[in-house]
Amino acid sequence: MINYGKQSVTASDVEAVTEQLKSSFLTQGPTVKQFEASVAANSNADYGISFSSATSALHGACAALGVGPGDIVWTAAMSFVASANCAIYCGATVGFVDVEPNTGNMSIEDLKEKLHEASAVGLLPKVLIPVHFAGQPCDLEEISRLAKQFGFKVIEDASHALGATYAGEPVGNSKFSDITVFSFHPVKIITTGEGGMCVTNSAELSEKLTRFRGHGITRDASESGAAVDGPWSYDQIELGYNYRLTDIQAALGISQLKRLDSFVSRRNEIADLYQELLDSSEWKPLEQKSSRTNSRHLFVVTNDLGYDARAELYGKLLRNDIQANVHYRPIYRNTYYARMNKYNPADYPGAERYYASALSLPMYFDLEDSQVHLVAAVVGS
């Protein structure tokens, strides 16, 4: 079976984890801090705060920006449910922005239109969460301009986009946003098994995120105001969660991060080969925008033939021992959100058009050229 996605674990990764298991720290030790510093440096950001998953990192990012009951958070209509759930966890209301069917990324035109409409009735979002879909960054400069104009904060959901660049700079540099979130799930660019990270240039947000993922506890007496009982003293000053990454996971992350450039390079080689082999096919890859490089978390193809054609191709691939996937079902189509009776699929024509035919073909570092040829041959047959 050719998987649609899969981690690449080497002997060096195994050795790094084994050495950590032999060390004094399995969690809450120095390796976590080393991993956080490495990811932050790779992203040209000042601070990295690790989490147990990208979902918990998104939750933490919303909380750090003060999202709560009565607030509104917007995200892309086409994403994994975590991009919206993080706002619900904080008691906020979620709204969706349509996507470009040719990229899967947030539609700037729809965003502008919705912002002007929301401004007129006093219902602007407190936070916007654009999603760098499949590894290609959104139009961050325009999103940043709109954030300044309409007064909202920005969390980049870069779960797909570690190693990607926008305007010549790495995603996560926080030039256009307040916080960026990465994922280290096994099918992502690098893995820690499960795990995520927030990167930011704000010392204040870094402190809030650190407390949030550690039960809301601080050992800094200046933050507490409570009596200091001794050098062991700590104080819970707000509600937080146990969202910590372990040193075992961090050791794997450090080892994996050393290969980030090769991971991204190979994924782009695979994408280029797919595009060459599918050039005359009715199945077309997502459009690559200029001034952005793509980390190629996913390789998605679409056409204008709709659900039946996709189902037929999905079945044909499966019969040839090739696993494909669909990323994603529009969030508002999920029963939990549909029960709210406030999201009309007709309001998101881009997401509907994308979802009607999109299919993710196998994409991972260890995928061989011969396997790419096999996949492309089945797609084109």
pLDDT digits (tens, 9 = 90+) for 300-354: 999 988 889 999 999 999 999 999 999 999 999 999 999 998 999 999 999 999 9
Residue 278 and residue 370 share a domain: yes
Query: Does residue 272 sit within a domain?
Result: yes
Q: Within a domain: residue 169?
A: yes
User: What is the mean pLDDT of the segment spanning 356-370?
Assistant: 98
Q: Give the pLDDT score at 128.
A: 99
Contact between residue 297 and residue 327 where contact means Cβ atoms under 8 Å apart:
no
**Do 319 and 366 reside in the same domain of the chain?**
yes
Does the CA dihedral 5-107-152-125 come out positive or negative? negative
Where residue 137 sits, what CATH number does that domain have? 3.40.640.10
Per the model's pLDDT, the better-predicted residue between 92 and 228 turns out to be: 92
Identify whether residues 227 and 98 lie together within a single domain: yes
Average pLDDT over residues 111-125: 98
Residues 25 and 174 in one domain: yes
What's the pLDDT score for residue 94? 98
User: Among 362, 249, 298, 317, which residue's Cα sits nearest to residue 105?
Assistant: 298
Reported as a pLDDT band with limits 50, 70 and 90, residue 229 is: confident
Residue-wise pLDDT tens digits, 151-204: 999 999 999 999 999 999 999 999 999 999 999 999 999 999 999 999 999 999
Same domain membership, residue 286 and residue 247: no
Asked whether the predicted pLDDT for residue 275 surpasses 90, the reply is yes
Where a domain ends, among 238, 257, 276? 257
Residue 3 lies in a domain: no
Last residue of a domain, one of 198, 227, 257: 257
**Is the domain of 287 the same as that of 142?**
no
Instruction: Indicate the pairing of strand 299-302 with strand 359-361.
Output: antiparallel
Domain identity same for 326 and 287: yes
Check residue 281 and give its pLDDT. Answer: 95
Residues 366-380 pLDDT 10s: 999 999 999 999 999
Confidence at residue 231, expressed as pLDDT on a 0 to 100 scale: 77
39 and 128 both lie in a single domain: yes
What pLDDT does 228 receive? 64
What are the DSSP E strand ranges found in 125-164? 127-129, 153-157
- Look at residue 52 and tell me if it is in a domain: yes
CA atoms within 13 A on the CB side of 106: 27
- Give me the mean pLDDT over the 357-365 stretch: 98
- Is 6 part of any domain? no
Continuous H helices in 243-334: 247-257, 260-277, 307-319
Q: Could you tell me the pLDDT band of residue 230, with boundaries at 50, 70 and 90? A: confident
Residues 293 and 340 in one domain: yes
CATH label of the domain that carries residue 296: 3.90.1150.10
**pLDDT tier at 60, thresholds 50, 70, 90:** very high
Does residue 84 sit in the same domain as residue 114? Answer: yes
d(CA 8, CA 187): 9
Q: How far apart are CA 151 and CA 116, in angstroms?
A: 12
* Measured CA distances, 157 to 13, 214, 284, 315 (Å): 26, 22, 25, 31
- Give the chain's mean pLDDT: 96
Q: Report yes or no: 178 and 67 within 8 Å, Cβ to Cβ.
A: no
Q: What is the mean pLDDT of residues 251-275?
A: 98
Label residue 232 by pLDDT band (50, 70, 90): confident
- Do 81 and 224 lie in a common domain? yes
Structural domain count, the chain? 2
How high is the pLDDT of residue 227? 63
Domain-terminating residue out of 257, 280, 308: 257
**Domain extent for 122:** 11-257
User: What does the pLDDT read at residue 362?
Assistant: 98
Residues 187 and 277 in one domain: no
